[in-house]
Amino acid sequence: MVLNRTAEVTVNPLQFRDIPIPQPGPGQLLVRVRCCGICRTDLHVIEGELDHPLLPLIPGHQAVGVVSQVGSAVTGRAVGERVGVAWLQHTCGHCEFCRSGRENLCPGARFTGYQVHGGYAEYALVSAPFAYQIPDTFSDEEAAPLLCAGIIGYRALRLSGIQPGQRLGLYGFGASAHIAIQIARHWGCDVYVCSLRRAHQELARELGARWVGGAADAPPDALHGAIIFAPAGELVPPALRALERGGTLALAGIHMSPIPSLDYDREVFGERVIRSVTANTRQDGEDLLREAAAIPIRPRTQPFQLREANQALQALKAGAIKGAGVLTIQ
């Protein structure tokens, strides 16, 4: 499914095309894709909210498949191995961020389905050091949303500073939040969910939320940490007001609408902290997959055929997917 120019998903901008199978270069793997999760970041890329995507572009950055060919200079990988292709595809390896364990901030980073072709296809290339081993615990369809929704939710949990047994707020309850709540509940946290959609509220209750309210409703108890998954800047003030003193609000989206002005006394004072979540490191991904398998996390998925990618993204934008949408390739 190829994007030739950015446009609203309502106009079906992705075109189903036959193109030559790519060949792996040095250090690369060719992956025969079995399925690929859809993500709100895909929407931001396709609709032009993220600047300067590669065009034409094959989107998608939550691909699960099997290694079909191994490029030269690759060690420790084999044809037939099941791997995951995620958002982070390349870093420079030598900047101050890469050297200090913060490769997610590398100025030279490149991202799958944005600056390099992604997983809305039968085949995809990935730099071998950035391909994840997928635990046997998960089916292909279950593993796909872990590769972004899961990893970003996991990093957001860490950056929120939430500790086992504390109170956590989640604003928006899509693919990432429905995985994050399973981790937080495993840690013994009480989770408070604010969501616009009734179906998402029902899923939050089903997954063990202590309290569920509307998108900007005030939780009944002060929160030790909170995460905003919805790309809605207007949720920042009420989320800050819901925090206990010293609490942290993590903003998990790659794109967000403008944040309104903040009242210092009501929303910031008391050493409340706002932190953005910027991509992820490979260590985040490895840690998430290991912990998700141990729990085990059970992503709720809704399958679509590859040709239905436009319709799947329209459903995602409308909030009509309960859990995570996944394109099945084969």
CB neighbour list of residue 165: distance below 8 Å, 6 or more residues apart: 187, 188, 189
Per residue of the chain (330 residues), give pLDDT as tens.
999 999 999 999 999 999 999 999 999 999 999 999 999 999 999 999 999 999 999 999 999 999 999 999 999 999 999 999 999 999 999 999 999 999 999 999 999 999 999 999 999 999 999 999 999 999 999 999 999 999 999 999 999 999 999 999 999 999 999 999 999 999 999 999 999 999 999 999 999 999 999 999 999 999 999 999 999 999 999 999 999 999 999 999 999 999 999 999 999 999 999 999 999 999 999 999 999 999 999 999 999 999 999 999 999 999 999 999 999 996
Q: Which of 62, 9, 313, 39 is nearest to 174 (CA)?
A: 39
Check residue 114 and give its pLDDT: 98
Q: What is the pLDDT of residues 169-227, one digit of tens each?
A: 999 999 999 999 999 999 999 999 999 999 999 999 999 999 999 999 999 999 999 99
Q: How far apart are CA 166 and CA 160, in angstroms?
A: 11
The one-letter code for the residue type at 243 is L
- In the structure encoding, which two tokens stand for residue 242, read together? 């819901």
**For residue 116, what is the DSSP state?**
B
CB neighbour list of residue 233: distance below 8 Å, 6 or more residues apart: 256, 257, 258, 259, 260
Q: How far apart are CA 204 and CA 213, in angstroms?
A: 10
User: Would you call 140 helix, strand, or coil by DSSP?
Assistant: helix
Indicate the angle between helix axes 175-186 and 198-206, nearest 10 degrees.
20
CB neighbour list of residue 134: distance below 8 Å, 6 or more residues apart: 64, 82, 83, 84, 140, 143, 289
Q: How far apart are CA 329 and CA 161, in angstroms?
A: 38
Strands 82-85 vs 273-276: parallel, antiparallel or unpaired: unpaired
Is residue 290 a contact partner of residue 265, using CB atoms and an 8 Å limit? Answer: no
Q: How far apart are CA 228 and CA 250, in angstroms?
A: 6
Order across the sheet with 243-251: list the strands: 211-213, 190-194, 167-171, 223-228, 243-251, 273-276
List residues bridging with 328 in a β-sheet: 35, 305
Check residue 185 and give its pLDDT: 98
Q: How far apart are CA 228 and CA 236, in angstroms?
A: 8
pTM: 0.95
Structural domains of the chain, ranges and CATH numbers in brackets: 2-148+299-328 (3.90.180.10), 150-276 (3.40.50.720)
Indicate the burial class of 330 (C-beta count within 10 angstroms; 0-12, 13-18, 19 or more): exposed
Is residue 131 a contact partner of residue 31, using CB atoms and an 8 Å limit? Answer: yes
User: Would you call 2 helix, strand, or coil by DSSP?
Assistant: strand
Distance of CA 319 to the CA centre of its chain: 16
Is residue 111 a contact partner of residue 87, using CB atoms and an 8 Å limit? Answer: yes
